Homo-oligomer: A and B are copies of this chain.
Amino acid sequence: MPIRSLAPLIAAAALLLLPPAQAQPAAFSAADLATSRALAARAAQSPLAYELVDSLVTEVGPRPAGSAGDARAVAWALAKLKALGFANVRAEPVPLRVWKRGEVQASLTAPYLQTLVVAALGNSVATPKPGLQAEIAYYADFDALKADTSERARGRIVFIDQKTDRTADARGYGRAVATRINGTSEAARRGALAVAIRSIGTDRDRFAHTGSTRYADGVAPIPALAVSVPDADLIARLQRYGQPLTMQLSLQAETDVPALTHNVIAEIPGSDRAAEVVLIGAHLDSWDLGPGALDDGAGVGIVTAAAKLILDSGAKPRRTVRVVLFGNEENGFDGAVAYADKYRDQVHQFVAESDLGAGLVYRFQSRVRPEALPAVRAIAEQLAPLNIVLGSNEGTPGPDAGVLMRRRSWPALELSQDGSEYFDVHHTANDTLDKVDPAKLRQNVAAWAVMTWLAAQSELSFGPMPLPRSAAP
């Protein structure tokens, strides 16, 4: 490895080793810091984020990409962002092909007749019209399926009883969700007729959690569905009876339907560095089963309200503050991909997205070039009064922003939220406004306003990022 490629690492290490007093020079002017404090103070009083979530779920509701609800959401967002006074408010079309849910019903037919609460997974193919019926091949978790080299799954409906751990962050979900995404292909490879999974969720309510699944190349697609947690418990109990367990299943769906969604964008134009962008995003679409108050109405409310506070502060940001409400985060990232293409040549100071509900922010992380870390530390100082600690420089900025980061190597910031209750209602009909705590939302807005404002003002450029090692010469 040539010395040149080590230089950023050495610089980073050096910065990390500096005592705090030296590591945090006057990264921001007194005026910028005063504005930051004023933003935090005003956020603590602002009802705007909650009002936005309320308005979105009350007036629009479910808004899967390409649906009539999605079109209403786009119109809603354009009207709101214009009314709030942002500049350059626009909807950028994103053509895409969508999956559409149809009717689903499933029941156990032996050893006892029991109706199950289920939901098709996104992208699932349909069953034949009359449905299908087969014995269940039970797997206690995803590893058990992956380890199975027998013929047990062939001609059967595979049931994967993978549990989701409740964790303070999204790690429990992160471990379990591979079952939903990849379990279908693992079952199909083994000759299964269909796959059913225990819902990826931390609740014990009778809601099925939807979410997308994926067919690996070369795999013949099979229908895939999630079973509510209490119904998964029922299957688990019955399989201990040691008798054949059979399931009847009918699932209708359309795949690959041409449709149109939009990224909705609003800006606060910058002053001396207006060509550079600080991007704070959320996704406008939701799954179809519920109104998406937490996923991602909360994110829409948080980043919009944070930008509005900056707009109303009277202080003009140096870089352009851009709010991006992405289209189709839930089942394809088409909006993020389109954005990454369209704005490929624009300098992005950072990208970040709010998409873990309405829990308190507890940590601030970055993924910036090492030379920019003093600015990150100075931002962290301003976030500390909000009970936010500084994490590492290996942050992840959210799903759509993650697409941008990976495709464009743009720097990224992360405000990590407490997600311990988020996966109780995630991707269910139960993701409703009552799950949003207005006080917690206000703390989020404060954090996003402070972070966004200061990063927009920084003398330091957060990128370009060092080349990843694998790409190094």
Residues of A within 8 A of B (CB): 54, 57-62, 111-115, 117, 204-207, 229-230, 233-234, 237-238, 290-291, 428-430, 432-435
Residues of chain B lying within 8 A (CB to CB) of residue A233: 432-434
Residues of chain B lying within 8 A (CB to CB) of residue A430: 205-206, 230
A290 x B206 contact (CB < 8 A): yes
A61 CA / B113 CA spacing, docked (Å)? 8
A12 CA / B117 CA spacing, docked (Å)? 54
Residues of chain B lying within 8 A (CB to CB) of residue A291: 114
B237 x A115 contact (CB < 8 A): no
A26 CA / B459 CA spacing, docked (Å)? 90
Q: A207-B206, A230-B434, A434-B230 are in contact. Are A237 and B112 (CB under 8 A)?
A: no
Partner of A54, one of B62, B229, B237: B237
22 contacting pairs across A/B (C-beta < 8 A): A54-B237, A58-B112, A58-B234, A59-B111, A60-B112, A61-B112, A61-B113, A61-B114, A61-B115, A114-B291, A117-B429, A204-B434, A204-B435, A205-B205, A205-B430, A206-B290, A206-B429, A230-B430, A233-B432, A233-B434, A234-B432, A234-B433
Task: Closest B residue to A233 by CB, please name it.
Answer: B434
Question: Beyond A59-B112, A205-B430: 9 further Cβ-contacts under 8 Å?
Answer: A57-B234, A58-B234, A61-B112, A204-B432, A205-B207, A206-B430, A206-B432, A230-B434, A237-B433
Task: Closest B residue to A432 by CB, please name it.
Answer: B230
B112 x A238 contact (CB < 8 A): no
Residues of chain B lying within 8 A (CB to CB) of residue A114: 61, 291
A61 CA / B111 CA spacing, docked (Å)? 13
Residues of chain B lying within 8 A (CB to CB) of residue A434: 204, 229-230, 233
A115 CA / B430 CA spacing, docked (Å)? 13
Residues of chain B lying within 8 A (CB to CB) of residue A62: 115
- State the 7 A-B residue pairs at the shortest beta-carbon distance, nearest first: A230-B432, A206-B430, A204-B434, A206-B429, A61-B114, A59-B112, A58-B237
Task: Closest B residue to A69 by CB, please name it.
Answer: B113
A237 CA / B205 CA spacing, docked (Å)? 25
Task: Closest B residue to A234 by CB, please name it.
Answer: B58
Task: Closest B residue to A112 by CB, please name it.
Answer: B59
CB distance from A234 to the nearest CB of B (A): 6
CB distance from A122 to the nearest CB of B (A): 19
Residues of chain B lying within 8 A (CB to CB) of residue A117: 429
CB distance from A356 to the nearest CB of B (A): 21
Residues of chain B lying within 8 A (CB to CB) of residue A433: 230, 233-234, 237
Residues of chain B lying within 8 A (CB to CB) of residue A204: 432, 434-435
Residues of chain B lying within 8 A (CB to CB) of residue A429: 117, 206
B115 x A238 contact (CB < 8 A): no
Task: Closest B residue to A428 by CB, please name it.
Answer: B206
Residues of chain B lying within 8 A (CB to CB) of residue A428: 206
B238 x A58 contact (CB < 8 A): yes
CB distance from A26 to the nearest CB of B (A): 48
Task: Closest B residue to A429 by CB, please name it.
Answer: B206
CB distance from A238 to the nearest CB of B (A): 6
A117 CA / B115 CA spacing, docked (Å)? 18
CB distance from A366 to the nearest CB of B (A): 37
A429 CA / B118 CA spacing, docked (Å)? 13
A377 CA / B272 CA spacing, docked (Å)? 86
Residues of chain B lying within 8 A (CB to CB) of residue A205: 205, 207, 430
A70 CA / B229 CA spacing, docked (Å)? 25
Residues of chain B lying within 8 A (CB to CB) of residue A432: 204, 206, 230, 233-234
A291 CA / B58 CA spacing, docked (Å)? 32
Residues of chain B lying within 8 A (CB to CB) of residue A435: 204
A229 CA / B234 CA spacing, docked (Å)? 26
CB distance from A116 to the nearest CB of B (A): 10
Residues of chain B lying within 8 A (CB to CB) of residue A113: 61
Task: Closest B residue to A61 by CB, please name it.
Answer: B114
Q: Which of A54, A58, A113, A290 has the most CB of B within 10 A?
A: A58
Task: Closest B residue to A430 by CB, please name it.
Answer: B206
Residues of chain B lying within 8 A (CB to CB) of residue A207: 205-206
Task: Closest B residue to A288 by CB, please name it.
Answer: B115
CB distance from A227 to the nearest CB of B (A): 12
CB distance from A244 to the nearest CB of B (A): 15
